[in-house]
Each structure stands twice: as structure tokens, then as C-alpha cells.
Structure 1
């Protein structure tokens, strides 16, 4: 399940592995500080980015991808547009394009936690060690993401059959955010309540 919050002056996308786990919302104000484009291009890029987000919310992912591509024509170094382009690709099941777009966002800003997180979730099953490294980077970049990152690292350890490491990660996640306890796989919940 995926979730796409849009609040007045804020934008973000969250890939939810479960219904209750979300990711960070990034501000767009620094997009303009980073850009070298003339002021009208800021406005056009902002308008296109908002349009793309709305198109994604309306499940028009092809239209959203077109809007994000137009932003990138105006501002090739716009990490938000690359990130959103990845999100749109992921929504239609094109994980290779999604990953490439997240990588481009991370080339621009290696500490861009939403891209770190989404790429990690894409790699969770196929490249679990790489996914854990990305989640660790996401926690460093955005300490508010620690609970969710620990939770997903716990899931990865669980899939690897490394129960002790999984319990450690789940325990850290629940210590930060007790509401995650209900998301922890049942086989680990008992271990968490013993300590």
C-alpha cells in the first residue's frame, strides 16, 4: 500500500509496507533555494510539481510522470521531481525506472531520506543488505525516521532467519514508537514484551 500526503506548502510520498507505517514529509521550500533557474521557472516548476502530485493522487501516473519530466526540463537538479518520478514509476510497477529515479535524487542529495527509504523498500527482498544500508543512511539523515527504519531492518533480519537481530531492531522501533508493536510479526511480539 502506498500513501501520498499533500499539505499546503509540504509535499511528500511514503511507501507503506503496512497500513500503519509512513515516512517523512519533505518541505519544498529548499527546492527554490537550490535552484539556479530564473524566478518564473521556480513558479512553473512548483506548479508542475503540484500538478504531478495531484495527478498521482488521482491515479494518473502517466500524467504525473509527464509533469515531473517537464519539471526536470526546467530544473534538471530538482531532487523532488526525480523522487516523484520514481514514485510514479513505482505506482505502475516499473521498479527499475523507480530505482533509477531515486538514485538520481540521491546523486543530487545523498541524504534525501524519502529517496533513501523508498529505494530501500524496493531492495528489501532482492538486495536486503543494500536495503539495510540505505535504511541506516535514512536514519542518519532524518532521525525522526528511526522507528520506521528499525522496523523494516527488523523485517529484513527476520527474513534472513536472524531472530536475535530482528528482535533488537523491533525493540528499538517499539521503544521509539510504541504503536508499531501491533505491526511487529506475531512471533516476535512475545519476545518484546518479556523485556
Structure 2
């Protein structure tokens, strides 16, 4: 089993390096090889999701992010990436994912900011105000990114 873990880690490193070198086909092959060794490797599922997202295969990307989240429901990268991808096509699902991400890491100011922006766009002003307040409470520098209509309430 230790040999399998080492092999999976080596393959993950190779996949990441290939992604950095813009070799998405090679990276995807490495991620699939990781999954042959360890079908519950959230990082491999996530990596495949990123490649699919970059290549415009949003349904495949979403399925891969969901597989990563089945393994680890609190996997911040998968929560955020899927939410970001769905912000236009399925904003309600994006809100749900950002709320999970914010609950997972309450100190993630940018997650609260993104959640506030999405809620404000959906007309959910009270919830948006709460999210903006949390973002600014964690990082006051984000106040300049809060929409004007929320700034007074947030800065109090």
C-alpha cells in the first residue's frame, strides 16, 4: 500500500508539473493513472475538473468537482472552482457551494466577498450584506470591493 501511495504522489506531482507546462493531455493521463491506483484521490478528480473547465467541457468539469466533493465535502478548492464555474449558469448552486466554502473556512474573506456579490446580484440584499460584513471583518481592505450601496452598513 505504501508503494501505491508513493506512486500516486509521484503521478500527482508529474500531473501538476505538466499542467504548469501547459500539457493538459499529459496531465490528464497522469491524473487518470492516479485514479487507477487510488480511486478516492480528491486531488486527481479536482485536477481533471480544472483541465475540463479550461477546455470548455463544463459538464465533465462539474462531474469531476462533484466526485472530489463526495470524497471531501469541505474541499475548498473544489467548492470554489465549481461555484465560480456555475455563477452564471446555475447561480443558486453557486451560492450553495460558496456558503459551504464559507462555513468550512470562516476566515476566507474573498469567499465571503464573492458570496456577497452573487447574493446581491440575485437581489438577496440582507444575506449579501451579511456576507460583505463577514468579508470586511476578516480583511478591512476588501471594503473598496464592496458595492457602494452596502458600504455604509458594512463599515459600521
TM-score (norm 2): 0.87
Q: 2:74 aligned with 1:74, yes or no?
A: no
Q: Relative to structure 2, which stretch is displaced further, 50-59 or 181-190?
A: 181-190
Give the corresponding residue for 1:57.
20
**1: CA distance between counterparts of 2:89 and 2:120?**
15
For residues 84 and 104 of structure 1, what CA distance do their matches in structure 2 show? 11
Residues 157 and 46 of structure 1: CA distance in aligned 2, closer, same or farther (over 3 Å): same
Q: Which residue of 2 aligns with 1:47?
A: 10
Q: Alpha-carbon deviation of 1:78?
A: 0.7
| Deviation for aligned residue 1:165 | 3.3
C-alpha separation between the residues in 1 aligned to 2:21 and 2:121? Answer: 34
Deviation at 1:109, TM superposition (A): 1.7
- TM-score for the superposition, normalised by structure 1: 0.71
Contact 1:65/1:89 (<8 A) preserved = no
Structure 2 residues without counterparts, runs of 5 or longer: none
Aligned residues: 156
Greater percentage in strand: 1
Structure 1 residue aligned with 2:139, among 169, 174, 177? 177
SS class of match (1:126) = coil
- Which residue of 166, 186, 189 corresponds with 2:128? 166
Deviation at 1:47, TM superposition (A): 1.0
**1:61-112 alpha-carbon deviations (Å, 9 max, x no partner):** 2221111111111111111111111112112222211111011111112222
Q: Give the whole-Å Cα distance in 1 for the aligned partners of 2:105 and 2:154.
A: 25
Aligned equivalents of 1:141 and 1:161: distance in 2?
25
* 8 Å contact kept, 1:48–1:70: yes
| Mapped pair 1:157 → 2:115 | no
2: distance between equivalents of 1:67 and 1:102?
A: 17
- Residues of 2 paired with 1:188 and 1:144: CA distance? 20
The CA RMSD measured in Å over matched residues stands at 1.9
Q: Which has the higher contact order (CA 8 A, sep 6+)?
A: 1
* 1:16-43 C-alpha deviation (Å, 9 max, x unpaired): xxxxxxxxxxxxxxxxxxxxxx222211
